């Protein structure tokens, strides 16, 4: 809409920006600008890239003070309405300004002012990319692999999926399949259906490490008589240019399949016809800073207006998704048998209470390793703790290697030089020659991590080739890929690793999986820790014996009678889920309630707690004055690791059996909360559906 002042026509615009202020902001332009168009605008003394979200009849504030935009960034068509709607939904649900949702969802060059104003910005990033990619040779074709015969379960799952699609019935599916049951084959066939109908597929995987393996399967299989479908990959490990290229290919509808990690959920895809979320239970789908969204949940919510089918797949679905399936919100597609005739590995629980261990390994485990090595089989030892030892200790005075800035121990790492590192603030420093308290040079590592275990197993089995895969050993770009290739090629006899090795990889000769130090998760403060442990154990156990009989899994534990282990022994996820859901229901925990977590930090714990007390009182007052019932505000408590990087942290948990009531409370209360924080000069983080409490 327009206003005319002295012959100059003004078209008013609402623009969102990536700033921590509730927008949108008023601007004007001399001509009409469509909603979704990116624009370069002045903001204070800076220039920023923004997105037009509305063209109002008149500005919200004083017309005289409204500034003109710098220019329209028309090197790309406007962002589509459904993409803005998804952003609006995420902004509302996660309580963040719309600009802080939409702008970060764009590839960096498209939201960086310098990409349009700098000396070398001629034509903008899109034009530059297109010039460059014209010179690039196309991806070489991959020889197609024939489709395997489907199992009865796979066939049934596909039949149900196809029936639901054609009848436009339930479009949300939970593909629940035991490890090795061939979930991927169902994804591939469902994807082919959609591709043949001329639509796009968005395929989400939890980890960057899993993309090469899936990319190859997709390239081998997603071809039809005339052509191979175009597959693009999108994750945070890509260089900015490569990321922009994949994103553009999806946005322009040229890519048929987009394979990516959680951030790919925000990619606009004009012909989108199917979303697949593999390993849907994985906590990597939850972003842990900035906009704390769950890509899995957004996948489900992205679907409705266009009714895009979504397949969530897992051997150990999250209890949230399992409960949805039980209530009929998702259609469950079960795969209860393995695709190859090979049975699931046998699980044994090795009771370690009162058992002498050498370097954390029981005799039974060491003997089993020896036997497997003699049979030329691979062994995987799983321990979820990286580094050499979790703490360094002085034998004389009992000094322990505390981090100076956190309430946590610094972990001993060995390398060219040994160092201590805090896994919370990241600080590291060289190992001292003597105890800083008493001067005794006899400092001893206490406990063990992957490095120490690797060292011990190499000594114990000198003829074996031992490899360690964890966040430390794979820090270099491409290193994880190279290591996994070695494992797949059979060049490794004993693999020691953290949860990095448990996901999705298909080892050919793996005969034995050993699990160490799993009990820690049973008694964690976080009520989801046992659920995560169970999923991890099923995953890691599922790596064994996918191609040969007689594989076994040995779990060392002091508590073999625990439900987690008993269900693992029986390979019975459903039993575990039923038991755990019953417990959660009896005490009103998710998925029988919905949570939001408000955290703050301060110089002292008291300041943090005091602020949260005020917040809580204000919240209680608001609940009462508005007549909102059912929302609980718990007493503020310190975080399990209270001090990180010299800041003390506390949290306030909010809970309600109704998602709508909790959202209504938060939305109506938030302006007061922001005002309170401002007046106290405190900052806070509000997280919806937190995973770690």
Phi, psi of 362 (to 5 degrees): -80, 160
Complex with Zn ion: residue 183 or 643, whichever CB lies closer: 643
Give me the least distance between CB of 423 and Zn ion, in Å please. Answer: 8
Give me the least distance between CB of 406 and Zn ion, in Å please. Answer: 3
Complex with Zn ion: residue 331 or 421, whichever CB lies closer: 421
Complex with Zn ion: residue 8 or 437, whichever CB lies closer: 437
Burial call 140-174: b when 16+ CB within 10 Å, e when fewer = eebeeeeeeebbebbeebbebbeebbeeeeebbbb
Give me the least distance between CB of 287 and Zn ion, in Å please. Answer: 23
Complex with Zn ion: residue 408 or 466, whichever CB lies closer: 408
- Is 181:337 a contact under the CB 8 Å cutoff? yes
Complex with Zn ion: residue 399 or 527, whichever CB lies closer: 399
Give me the least distance between CB of 401 and Zn ion, in Å please. Answer: 11
Helix (H) or strand (E) run with residue 664 in it = helix 659-680
Complex with Zn ion: residue 102 or 422, whichever CB lies closer: 422
Query: In terms of Cα–Cα distance, which of 453, 392, 441, 381 is closest to 418?
Result: 392
Cα dist from 662 to 26, 97, 356, 595, 599, whole Å: 31, 19, 51, 8, 17
Complex with Zn ion: residue 399 or 559, whichever CB lies closer: 399
Dihedral, 288, 290, 291, 295 alpha carbons, nearest 10: -40
Q: Is 444 exposed, middle or buried (0-12, 13-18, 19+ CB in 10 A)?
A: exposed
Residue 658: CB atoms within 10 A of its CB come to 14
Residues that bind Zn ion (CB under 5 A): 394, 396-397, 399, 403, 405-406, 422, 424-425, 435, 437-438, 440
Burial call 508-535: b when 16+ CB within 10 Å, e when fewer = ebbbbbbbbbbbebbeeeeebbbbbbbb
How many whole angstroms separate alpha carbon 553 and alpha carbon 349?
8
Give me the least distance between CB of 607 and Zn ion, in Å please. Answer: 20
Complex with Zn ion: residue 139 or 646, whichever CB lies closer: 646
Give me the least distance between CB of 403 and Zn ion, in Å please. Answer: 3
Strand ordering across the sheet containing 272-278:
231-234, 257-260, 200-204, 272-278, 310-314, 172-177, 331-335
* End-to-end Cα separation, the chain, in angstroms: 48
Give me the least distance between CB of 349 and Zn ion, in Å please. Answer: 35
Give me the least distance between CB of 470 and Zn ion, in Å please. Answer: 19
Question: Strands 419-421 and 428-430, how do they pair?
Answer: antiparallel
Complex with Zn ion: residue 397 or 570, whichever CB lies closer: 397
Which tokens hold the place of 509? 């000769």
Question: Can you give 629-642 as a three-state secondary structure string?
Answer: CCCEECCCEEEEEE
Give me the least distance between CB of 597 and Zn ion, in Å please. Answer: 22
Give me the least distance between CB of 440 and Zn ion, in Å please. Answer: 5
Which tokens hold the place of 611? 């602020």
Complex with Zn ion: residue 409 or 507, whichever CB lies closer: 409
Complex with Zn ion: residue 177 or 390, whichever CB lies closer: 390
Give me the least distance between CB of 472 and Zn ion, in Å please. Answer: 17
- Is 468:371 a contact under the CB 8 Å cutoff? no
CA angle at 351 for the pair 349 and 357, rounded to the nearest 5°: 120
Give me the least distance between CB of 391 and Zn ion, in Å please. Answer: 13
Complex with Zn ion: residue 437 or 574, whichever CB lies closer: 437
How many whole angstroms separate alpha carbon 403 and alpha carbon 233?
39
How many whole angstroms separate alpha carbon 538 and alpha carbon 626?
47
């Amino acid at each position: 809409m327009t206003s005319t002042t002295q012959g100059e026509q003004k078209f008013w615009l609402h623009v969102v920006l990536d700033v921590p202020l509730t927008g949108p902001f008023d601007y004007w332009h001399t001509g009409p600008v469509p909603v979704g168009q990116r624009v370069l605008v002045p903001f204070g003394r800076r220039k920023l890239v923004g997105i037009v979200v509305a063209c109002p009849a008149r500005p919200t504030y004083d017309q005289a003070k409204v500034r003109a935009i710098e220019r329209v960034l028309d090197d790309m068509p406007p962002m589509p309405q459904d993409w803005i709607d998804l952003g609006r939904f995420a902004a509302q649900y996660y309580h963040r300004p719309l600009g802080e949702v939409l702008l970060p969802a764009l590839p960096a060059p498209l939201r960086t002012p310098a990409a349009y104003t700098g000396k070398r910005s001629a034509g903008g990033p899109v034009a530059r990319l297109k010039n460059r990619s014209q010179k690039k040779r196309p991806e070489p074709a991959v020889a197609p692999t024939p489709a395997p015969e489907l199992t009865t379960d796979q066939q049934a799952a596909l039949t149900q999926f196809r029936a639901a699609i054609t009848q436009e019935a339930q479009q949300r599916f939970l593909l629940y399949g035991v490890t090795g049951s061939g979930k991927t084959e169902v994804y591939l066939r469902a994807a082919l259906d959609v591709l043949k109908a001329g639509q796009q597929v968005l395929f989400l995987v939890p980890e960057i490490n899993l993309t090469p393996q899936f990319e190859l399967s997709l390239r081998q299989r997603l071809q039809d008589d005339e052509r191979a479908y175009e597959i693009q990959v999108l994750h945070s490990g890509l260089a900015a240019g490569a990321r922009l290229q994949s994103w553009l290919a999806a946005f322009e509808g040229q890519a048929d399949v987009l394979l990516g990690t959680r951030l790919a959920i925000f990619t606009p895809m004009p012909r989108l016809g199917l979303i697949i979320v593999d390993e849907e239970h994985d906590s990597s789908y939850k972003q842990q800073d900035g906009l704390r969204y769950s890509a899995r949940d957004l996948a489900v919510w992205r679907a409705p207006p266009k009714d895009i089918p979504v397949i969530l797949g897992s051997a150990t679905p999250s209890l949230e998704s399992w409960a949805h399936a039980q209530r009929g919100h998702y259609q469950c597609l079960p795969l209860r048998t393995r695709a190859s005739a090979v049975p699931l590995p046998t699980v044994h629980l090795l009771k370690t209470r009162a058992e002498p261990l050498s370097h954390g390994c029981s005799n039974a485990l060491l003997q089993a390793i020896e036997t497997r090595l003699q049979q030329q089989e691979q062994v995987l030892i799983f321990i979820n703790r990286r580094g050499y030892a979790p703490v360094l200790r002085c034998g004389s005075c009992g000094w322990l290697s505390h981090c100076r800035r956190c309430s946590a121990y610094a972990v001993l790492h060995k390398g060219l030089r040994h160092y201590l590192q805090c896994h919370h603030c990241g600080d590291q420093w060289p190992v001292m020659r003597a105890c800083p308290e008493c001067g005794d040079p006899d400092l001893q590592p206490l406990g063990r991590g992957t490095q120490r275990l690797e060292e011990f197993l190499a000594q114990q089995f000198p003829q074996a080739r031992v490899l360690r895969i964890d966040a430390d050993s794979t820090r270099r770009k491409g290193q994880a890929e190279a290591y996994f290739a070695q494992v797949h090629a059979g060049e490794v006899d004993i693999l020691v690793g953290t949860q990095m090795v448990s996901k999705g990889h298909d080892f050919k000769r793996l005969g034995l999986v050993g699990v160490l130090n799993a009990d820690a998760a049973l008694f964690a403060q976080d009520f989801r820790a046992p659920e995560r442990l169970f999923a991890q154990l099923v995953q890691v156990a599922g790596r064994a014996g996918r191609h040969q009989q007689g594989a076994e899994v040995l779990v060392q534990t002091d508590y073999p009678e625990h439900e987690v282990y008993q269900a693992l022994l029986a390979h019975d996820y459903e039993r575990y889920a039923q038991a755990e859901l019953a417990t959660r229901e009896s005490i009103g925990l998710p998925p029988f309630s919905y949570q939001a977590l408000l955290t703050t930090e301060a110089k002292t714990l008291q300041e943090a707690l005091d602020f949260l007390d005020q917040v809580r009182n204000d919240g209680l007052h608001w609940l009462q004055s508005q007549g909102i019932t059912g929302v609980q505000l718990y007493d503020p408590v310190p975080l399990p690791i209270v001090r990180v990087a010299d800041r003390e942290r506390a949290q306030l948990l909010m809970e309600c059996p109704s998602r709508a009531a909790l959202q209504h409370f938060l939305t109506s209360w938030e302006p007061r909360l922001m005002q309170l924080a401002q007046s106290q000069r405190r900052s806070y983080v509000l997280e919806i559906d937190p995973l770690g409490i």
